[in-house]
């Protein structure tokens, strides 16, 4: 029986390949939607794991998380200097890490922060942390080598922008891989960022193009306190982060807070949710985004389901026509003494093998497509998107195979109703 089935499949290999391809493409569409949506959820959740609480000026909670966690440039308002000072002096806070952004080197964002950010992301893979205004620490995916120097520019990533020629940084260390957008970032002392933009004389009008210029605030801050700042590069002036707790800052767009306990986290969030500031748990914000993503997935699932239903109907029609065309062959087998059960099993098994092969190929094709897409997205965003099957996917495959097994009963019933004499007269 198996030799007969294999011979029949080889004889009709072009038609068999087309039917299997249709099944594979329809299946791959649904598999790709499921795997990609899951990868986006898991990847973004892992990327936000180091961020317990984010504090910023009153505005969009979603944009605050996208900027602080995923380093998406946007014109964020600045939280006043007293906010960072209060958080760094608060006994309920283990760490309060300022985050300033806006400058780039090629496509890599430059993030002004403190040395505590290095510990937040698991430490260094090589080199040392920044100790002077001209030092920088590169993320794991930054191509610049340790020891190389660069000038930051103001603008959008990958576009020609206004170069801060007076500022020069040298990469002294590299972060260990984190699987987050911070792998593509270059960390520098935030005080050097304030100096660069203060010396830039209110360049570019403050916050446009998503830049955390803070130029006006920093300039006024310097005038008030009479500080004689050197440029970021060249002077090698040591970084003193202890002054941040005394309000020695012009304001920052975001502050990453690590509370000492869960109770402290909720207390701090409530305390800083007021008219001028906001505090968010990134996980809560991402959950709302997942809800929107889930709505989009349901739409895509509906589209995929409709496509699969159309393909299934077309394939069923093709299979029925194929069985009807083989009526004389089936009748001859019956006339030569082949038992009805054997003939029906041959019809059922041949059709099922075609559909099952298409389903398995569809799962492999969908997985491969999502893997390729996730690699591209990881290169662009820095977020590692884990792609893999789960037990639920195995049950989905089993369910589809069961449906295929039931669908193949249609041509079997057609063959069953025919007598050998009727089939030979066809």
% of the chain with per-residue pLDDT over 70: 77
Instruction: Report residue 212's pLDDT band, with 50, 70 and 90 as the boundaries.
Output: very low
Which among 40, 390, 389, 381 is positioned nearest to 178, based on CA atoms? Answer: 381
Q: Render pLDDT for 36-50 as a digit per residue (tens, 0 to 9).
A: 888 988 888 888 888
Higher pLDDT, 164 or 140: 140
pLDDT of residue 300: 72
Higher pLDDT, 197 or 208: 197
Instruction: Report residue 104's pLDDT band, with 50, 70 and 90 as the boundaries.
Output: confident
Alpha-carbon separation of residue 315 from 46, 281, 312, 352 (angstroms): 42, 50, 5, 12
pLDDT of residue 148: 92
Q: Render pLDDT for 354-384 as a digit per residue (tens, 0 to 9).
A: 889 999 999 999 999 999 999 998 887 788 8
Is it the case that residue 337 has pLDDT exceeding 60?
no
Spell out the residues 6+ positions from residue 324 whose beta carbon is closer than 8 angstroms to its own: 414
Which among 260, 259, 250, 261 is positioned nearest to 279, based on CA atoms? Answer: 259
Instruction: Find the mean pLDDT for residues 111-140.
Output: 91
d(CA 331, CA 425): 9
pLDDT of residue 172: 95
Instruction: Find the mean pLDDT for residues 221-245.
Output: 56
pLDDT of residue 15: 81
Q: Render pLDDT for 7-25 as a digit per residue (tens, 0 to 9).
A: 777 877 888 888 889 889 8
Higher pLDDT, 231 or 332: 332
Higher pLDDT, 263 or 335: 263
Among 120-134, 148-162, 376-390, the least confident range: 148-162
Higher pLDDT, 247 or 43: 43
Instruction: Report residue 288's pLDDT band, with 50, 70 and 90 as the boundaries.
Output: confident
pLDDT of residue 290: 78
Instruction: Find the mean pLDDT for residues 210-230.
Output: 41
Higher pLDDT, 56 or 351: 56
pLDDT of residue 229: 40
% of the chain with per-residue pLDDT over 90: 30
Instruction: Report residue 98's pLDDT band, with 50, 70 and 90 as the boundaries.
Output: very high
Higher pLDDT, 329 or 317: 317
Instruction: Find the mean pLDDT for residues 125-144.
Output: 91
Provide the 10 A C-beta neighbour count for residue 329. Answer: 15
Is it the case that residue 101 has pLDDT exceeding 90?
no
Higher pLDDT, 164 or 312: 312
Contact 359/398 with Cβ under 8 angstroms?
no
Contact 269/281 with Cβ under 8 angstroms?
yes
pLDDT of residue 254: 94
pLDDT of residue 207: 41
């Amino acid at each position: 029986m198996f030799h007969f089935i294999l011979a029949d499949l080889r004889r009709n290999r072009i038609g068999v390949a087309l039917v299997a391809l249709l099944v594979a493409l329809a299946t791959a569409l649904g598999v790709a939607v499921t795997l990609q949506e899951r990868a986006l959820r898991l990847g973004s959740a892992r990327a936000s794991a180091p961020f317990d609480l984010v504090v910023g000026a009153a505005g969009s909670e979603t944009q605050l998380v996208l900027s602080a966690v995923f380093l998406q440039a946007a014109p964020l308002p600045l939280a006043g200097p007293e906010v960072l000072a209060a958080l760094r002096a608060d006994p309920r806070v283990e760490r309060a890490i300022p985050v300033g952004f806006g400058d780039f080197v090629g496509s890599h964002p430059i993030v002004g922060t403190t040395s505590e950010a290095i510990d937040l992301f698991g430490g260094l893979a090589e080199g040392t942390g920044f100790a002077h205004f001209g030092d920088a620490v590169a993320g794991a995916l930054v191509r610049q080598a340790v020891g190389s120097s660069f000038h930051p520019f103001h603008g959008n990533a990958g576009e020609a922008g206004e170069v801060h020629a007076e500022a020069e940084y040298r990469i002294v260390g590299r972060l260990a891989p984190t699987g987050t957008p911070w792998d593509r970032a270059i960390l520098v002392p935030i005080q050097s960022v304030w100096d660069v933009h203060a010396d830039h004389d209110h360049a570019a009008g403050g916050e446009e193009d998503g830049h955390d210029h803070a130029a006006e605030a920093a300039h006024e801050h310097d005038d008030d306190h009479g500080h004689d700042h050197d440029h970021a590069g060249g002077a090698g002036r040591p970084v003193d982060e202890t002054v941040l707790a005394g309000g020695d800052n012009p304001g920052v767009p975001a502050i990453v807070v690590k509370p000492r306990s869960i109770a402290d986290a909720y207390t701090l969030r409530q305390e800083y949710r007021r008219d001028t500031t906001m505090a968010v748990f990134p996980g809560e914000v991402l959950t709302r985004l997942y809800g929107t993503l889930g709505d989009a997935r349901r739409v895509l699932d509906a589209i995929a389901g409709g496509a699969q239903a159309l393909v299934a109907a077309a394939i069923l029609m093709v299979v029925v026509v194929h069985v009807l065309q083989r009526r004389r062959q089936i009748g001859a087998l019956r006339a030569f003494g082949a038992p009805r059960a054997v003939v029906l099993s041959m019809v059922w098994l041949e059709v099922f093998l075609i559909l099952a092969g298409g389903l398995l190929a569809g799962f492999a094709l969908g997985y491969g497509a999502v893997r390729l897409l996730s690699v591209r997205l990881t290169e662009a965003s820095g977020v590692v998107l884990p792609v893999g099957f789960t037990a639920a996917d195995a049950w989905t495959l089993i369910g589809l195979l069961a449906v295929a097994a039931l669908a193949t009963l249609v041509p079997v019933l057609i063959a069953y109703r025919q007598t050998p004499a009727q089939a030979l007269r066809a």
